[in-house]
Amino acid sequence: MSDFGEIITAMVTPFDKDYNIDWKSMDIIMDYLIENGTDSFLIAGTTGESPTLSDREKIELFRFAKKKLKNNMPLIAGTGSNDTKHTIELSKAAQEAGADCALIVTPYYNKPTQNGLINHYRQISESLDIPIIFYNVPARTCCNITSATSLKLAEFKNIVGVKEASGDMRQIAEIIRDCPGGFVVYSGNDSDTFPIVALGGKGIISVASHIIGKEIKEMISLLNKNKLKEAAQMHKKYLDIFHGIFFTTSPIPIKKALNLMGIPAGYLRPPLYDMELQEEEKFVGLLTEYKLI
């Protein structure tokens, strides 16, 4: 399965009050997202609080999601780390658990060179049979994958796309312009979906789709029909939501939004913590303004 659609939801991981994975809530959230525009699921991404998930928990999540989705909808597994060997091991385990694709973030903290990044992804590509989407998010990793490097990675046999969250529109446009056929570019920021799809990108690996999935899908549909003015109006309409869910560390706001909407997203795992009262009041005001609560 290599067509992951236009909206891939980077799904939250619901935890109970003891910080264990809440499997009943996981089931409820997946049903809700399927009904609200999601084409594919990214499990154990940043929004899923992957830094606090053990490998065992990640594999359990992949198995649960695969059993739920069967072969009706793609499952993308977040398996990246800053250790090439560990990434390969976890990606192989995800493949065995039924994942249809691996999303692999740029190695963080150790700040590899561009040649180091190429070698990292080459080793992973050679070790896997499933497709790979690499994830460029310099704000979290302190390491940017340049457009030249992205285009080299796009030549690898099973690297099928990039989640681009650099916010550098020249870099992103160069990738879209020069990438080989079959390679896709997904926006990694909800606020960048409009310009990236307008440039020829595929869609969005989204956080906002938890609460406005149908609206994002409609905006992308308008872009694909060359109805630029109408799509731009939708982008501007939801711009405050796109930014509002990131006004403090994600996924703190989106979990709060879901819980307020009656969708059981549960607790945050430490070191993440609830927003301050003043922040919460402002965020509740935003959600109320958009009639989401």
Distance CA 200, CA 210 (A): 24
Q: Which of 66, 121, 135, 238 is catalytic?
A: 135
A 10 A CB-CB count for 223 gives 26
CATH number of the structural domain 7-289: 3.20.20.70
Query: What pLDDT is recorded for position 2?
Result: 65
Model-level pTM?
0.95
Give the list of residues 6+ apart from residue 156 with CB closer than 8 angstroms, or none: 121, 122, 125, 132
Show the low-confidence residues of the chain (pLDDT under 70). Answer: 1-2
Establish whether 238 is a catalytic residue: no
- In the numeric block, the tokens 């872009």 are attached to 223
Distance CA 289, CA 28 (A): 26
Q: Which of 58, 152, 163, 217 is catalytic?
A: 163
Over the stretch 52-102, which tens digit does the pLDDT of each residue have? 999 999 999 999 999 999 989 999 999 999 999 999 999 999 999 999 999
Give the list of residues 6+ apart from residue 178 with CB closer than 8 angstroms, or none: 147, 151
A 10 A CB-CB count for 123 gives 14
- Best CA proximity match to 46, nearest among 7, 99, 100, 103: 103
Query: What pLDDT is recorded for position 271?
Result: 98
- Best CA proximity match to 156, nearest among 121, 117, 191: 121
- In the numeric block, the tokens 């990640």 are attached to 58
